[in-house]
Every structure is written in structure tokens, then in C-alpha cells.
Chain A
Amino acid sequence: MFARRPYTGYKIYQSMENEPKPSANSTAILESAAFKKLVKQRWSVSLVLTFAMLAVYFGFLLLVAFDKELLATKIGDYTTLAIPVGLGIILFAWLLTGVYVFWANNKYDASVEELKNKIS
């Protein structure tokens, strides 16, 4: 969209003279309760999942830094706790992205479609 617009310095951008004015319809959507709920929900899901990932990864790093003994505990004849934990984090990261895709494909996209239909 930038390339096709005549550009005469940043002052235009500040005053937004060249911006297409948002239609009344889209302004209504932006201010609708449904849209605000959608945005809020999206970020709650994203942030909860983000913090889950951060907690697991940094928890692991701190364990490596402070309690190596625990990770060295044998859980089999030779296998240490560290191995299932490490591989588990890789699996967890992937499953977490799966959870997000499942939520987004089912709930988020449905709400998006609903709102988009209102814009027409």
C-alpha cells in the first residue's frame, strides 16, 4: 500500500491527510463489544501460552544452572532425568503451538468471519 501512494515527506503521515478515512461501518466494528472481546481474548490466549513456554524454558535453564544433581538422577539403568526432561521440552513446545492452532482455527477464525461479514 505504501508504494502506490504519493509520498511527500513524513509531515503527511503525521497529519494523515492521505489516509483513506475509515468508513463509518468499520469504525462501528472497531468500537463494537464483539471486536474488543476478540482482541482481548486473542491476547489472553497468546500471553498465557507465551508465559507457559517462557516458564518451562527458563525453569529448565535455572535447573541446569543451580541443580545439576537433580537432573543427573538416574531413572533407568543409565538414563538420567535430564534426557526425558530435555526431549519433553521439545515436545511441549510443539504441542503448545498445536494448542494455539486448535484454538485459533476453531474459535478465533469463527469470530473473525462473523465480524468480517458485518463490514461487507
Chain B
Amino acid sequence: MLSSFVLLQATPTASTLGTANPVSIAMFFLFVAVTLYITYWAAKKTKTGSEFYAAGRNISGFQNGLALAGDYMSAASFLGIAGMVATKGYDGLIYSIGFLVGWPLIMFLIAEPLRNLGKYTFADVVAYRLRQRPIRIASSVGSLLTISFYLIAQMVGAGGLIKTLFGLEYEIAVVIVGAVMTLYVLFGGMIATTWVQIIKAVLLLSGATVLVLLSLAKFGFSPGNLLEAVSTQYGQAMLSPGGYITNPFDALSLGLALMLGTAGLPHILMRFYTVPDAKAARKSVFVATGFIGYFYLLTFLIGFSAMALVGKPAIEGLDKGGNMAALLLAEQTGGTAFLGFIAAVAFATILAVVAGLTLSGASSISHDLYVHVFKKGVSDEKGEMKVARRATIALGILSILLGLVFKGQNVAFMVGLAFSIAASANFPALLMSIIWKKFTTQGAVWSIVTGAALSLILIVLSPTIMVDIMGYPEAIFPLKNPALVSMSSAFLVGIIVSLLKPEPAAAAKFESEKLRTYLGVGAE
């Protein structure tokens, strides 16, 4: 995911990648037709706010677990991590581990209180006992920044990917993705988005499983033989950590961003409101962690299989970042039809992830900003829904524009930035509001502002931008990812500001909210 998800430029090779593949186009249209039918079905059920934002809180724990996994397994993590393993060997696994280990922490620290205290967005929880306006404004800024950078990464990745997969023009691909995902969210709200995620998760998991089985068949179904093939072709060094992580502080900082960023992604946090109670929220995290872990195990095997069967030169010849490794492997093991299937799944994956992002962006605008800031908490549901739908259209147009404007940009740092802002601006304020009685409104606002601003400033000064993109010999800030500094500062500033000026009303309310936090009394 953080590997160079650079624009994949299709180059003529023996592969059929980059030409219109009838199977993948048929598969993709089937996916879009089925999901639009679901959207039509969901539209009839989507009238109230609770249905639009939270699927009427009717999703089961298992279904939500699959949907969470669907939200998290982006095309970047499927193609990107498999590609990283295929080109850099074992180091790719270090990234997948980072993306996984945030999930247990979501479970232990925030899932249940989040479900019991909130309504539609994570800002509900932070604002629960603090002053509404300042918190809603600050947390919307944190949410929208995270969502925007994640959206840019997905849209730009999507355009390039689809160009390679289907031979479609970049611009057309971006417009299709933007338009279809706007339809999902606009008409079907969270009900449709959830089912799109579930279908996509099942397709992705089963497609990757078949790919691994087809590949392992070539090694007599023995992973040991696969490793032997990798080792004899590319050297034993591929099977152990290489030079990817050298500076321990860099490792720590990246690790924090990957781990705690997950616990601050608005579209992930929003999913906890779709289940009926805390028990179901708990079950969803368990299911999601299992599926995501299994998925990363598969990407690891896919990466090594691609390295052994397709070969590094062929993979890197098509795309430097290795993003095409899984697809080349699919073609080699299952033929053009199977390539078509996997390509369609990758496209579907992007659609589903951007739909989830857009829905959480729209709820932040309508629920946090419109209702609680502009309308000061007094608003009828009809008005709110109208704003939510307008925000969806606006975000759809915006994401298409961003996709077009950022064409050709390296998007790796935007994913890093999205995770860093999530870990620094969203996570500390959310956690402190749940566990710390003395947390105050000012403390929360300053914590969010510090986390967001430091992430932005430090990433510009980091080697990721100064050296890799702007070409300076050295960067002002030494770490590739700012989370170590920006997240610790967000915690520190939140604590200091809260202690400097106590807010007795907030502390008193913390006591009475405990019934809801721990027992679920009064939770929606």
C-alpha cells in the first residue's frame, strides 16, 4: 500500500494486460449490475437518518465483520502488498503486519464505547460530554482531511489500474468510478454500501484463495517448495528482512501510523453504528481481524508465487512498484479468463472502498457540520437527509476532480498521510474522550489541530516529499512518516491543555455517561 502505487503505465508485453478483456468487462458489468440492483432495493428502505448512515442498525456482527474487512482490503493493499512481496521479498510482510495489528486495539480500546456512545460519526463520541460546536468543527476537519487524502490515493490508483487492466482511458475510468460510487451512496446509503462491501469482500477473498491454490499446485501444494524456488532464483535474502526498514525510529513511526491510523479512519469507525449493540460490534472486529489476517497471508503467498512463476523482471517491466504482480500471476496460472475475473474484482474493490469513504465524508458534513454547527443542534431529519445527499453529490464530483487533477502523481505519500492524520488527529481525541475524565473541550480541539497540522507540515518536510518528490539531497525532518512526533504531540497537547483549564461540567458528565459506556443503557 505504501509501496510506490505509482501510476501504472501499460507497456506492451506478451501479457494481455492493457487490452480490453471481454471476461473482465463482463464480470465487471455483472458486479455493477448486481450492486446497482441492491442499491435500488436499499433505496426503498433508506428513508430515515438511521437507515442512511447506519443501515438501520440491522447488520449482524458477522456481516459487519465482512463489510469491515471489505472496507479495509483496498486494491492498494491487495495489489500493492502482493507487489511488494513479489519485488522486495519478505519486507512486504512487515507492512501487512502493521496494517493488521491495529485491529486488536480497536477491539480492546474503542469498539464497545464507540458503539454505545455514538450515533452516526465518531465525533458523536468525542462531543458527547464536551461542547458541541468546537468539537464538531475540529473533528470534521480531521475526518475530511483523512478522507480526502485516502480518496485521492484510491482515485488516482484506480484510474491507472483500470487503464492497465481494461485498456480504458484514465479519465474515463475515474469518471466511471466516481459516478457509480455516488449512485451507491446517494440512493442506497449505508444499507447498499454495506452489501457492496460484503459482496466485494467475498469475491476478493475467494478470488485470492483460488489464485493461491492454482499457484501452489505448481509446487505440489507445498509452501516449502515455493520458498525453495524463490531462494534458488533470487537468493536466500528474499526470505528475511532486507534493507527496507533501517532506522529504528522510522520503523517505530511507520508502525504507529499503520497501527493506530486504523483506529482513526472515519469510514471504519462509522461501521460500528450499523450493528444493534456492543456485543455485535465486538463480534464484527473478531470476524474482520480473522478475514484480514487470512487475506494478508494470501497476499504473502501470491507475492512469492508471482516472484517464482512470473519472475521479477517481467513484473517490474510492467510496473515498477510491482502492482501488477497478482494479475500477471493470475494470467499465468489461470489463463485470460481468470485474469479477467481478478481484474474485475480489483476494480470492484476500488468502487467499494471509495463508496465507504464518501459515505463517511457525507455524514461528517451533514451530521457534524450542518446539524450541530450551522443548525445548532435543531434540525429536522428531512433537512439533514437533504444535506447528506447533496454532500454525497458534491463529494462524488470532488473525487472525480481530484482524480483528474492528481493524475500521474505518486500517491504513496497520500496513503501515508491519511494514516498519519487518522492516527494523530482522530485517534488521540477519541481515545482520551473515552477513557479520561479530565479531558476538556479545549484539550480535544487543540489535540486535533496539533495532530492534523503537524502531520501535514512534517510530511512536507520529510524525505518522502523533499527527497523522493522534490529531489533535495536531504530532508529537514528525518522520518519518512510523521506519526511518532505528530501523534505524541497530539496526546501531549491534549493532556496539557486539559489540565491547564479544567472543565467541571465535562468531568461530571463523564460519570453519568458511564452507564451508557459500560452497560449500553440508553444507547441507540
A→B interface (CB under 8 Å): 1-3, 5-10, 13-16, 19, 22, 26, 29-30, 35, 38-39, 42-43, 45-47, 49-50, 53, 56-58, 60-62, 64-66, 68, 71-72, 74, 76-83, 86-87, 89-91, 93-94, 96-98, 100-101, 104-105, 109, 112, 115-116, 119
Contacts and interface: CB of A to CB of B under 8 A. Distances in A.
The 5 closest A-B pairs by CB, nearest first: A7-B377, A72-B240, A65-B248, A10-B131, A46-B108
B286 A101 contact: yes
B419 interface: no
Contacts of A62: 248, 251
Contact of A68 (B109, B241, B512): B241
Given A6-B378, A65-B251, A71 B241 contact: yes
Interface residues of B, number: 77
B372 interface: yes
B512 A97 contact: no
Contacts, number: 197
Contacts of A58: 252, 255
B66 to A, nearest CB: 15
A15 to B, nearest CB: 7
B305 interface: no
A35 B388 CA distance: 39
A14 B505 contact: yes
Contacts of B475: none
B227 A13 contact: no
B289 A93 contact: yes
B20 interface: no
A42 B116 CA distance: 15
B508 interface: yes
Contact of A104 (B49, B227, B282): B282
A6 B247 contact: no
B508 A80 contact: no
Contacts of A53: 101, 104-105, 108
Interface string B95-123: 01110110111011100100000010000
The secondary-structure label for the interface of chain B is: helix
A86 B293 contact: no
B101 A91 contact: no
A91 B241 contact: no
Choose among B103, B252, B508, B519 the residue with the greatest number of A CB atoms under 10 Å from its CB.
B519
Contacts of A26: 512, 515, 521
A37 to B, nearest CB: 11
Contacts of B297: 87, 90
Choose among B119, B297, B515 the residue with the greatest number of A CB atoms under 10 Å from its CB.
B515
B521 A116 contact: yes
B241 A39 contact: no
Given A79-B239, A90-B96, A64 B245 contact: yes
B515 A30 contact: yes
A22 B378 CA distance: 23
B231 interface: yes
A10 B133 contact: yes
A103 B257 CA distance: 29
A38 B518 contact: yes
B252 A14 contact: no
Given A19-B509, A94-B286, 19 more contacts: A3-B381, A6-B378, A10-B131, A35-B518, A50-B104, A56-B101, A57-B255, A57-B259, A62-B248, A62-B251, A65-B245, A81-B240, A86-B97, A90-B96, A90-B100, A90-B293, A93-B289, A101-B282, A116-B521
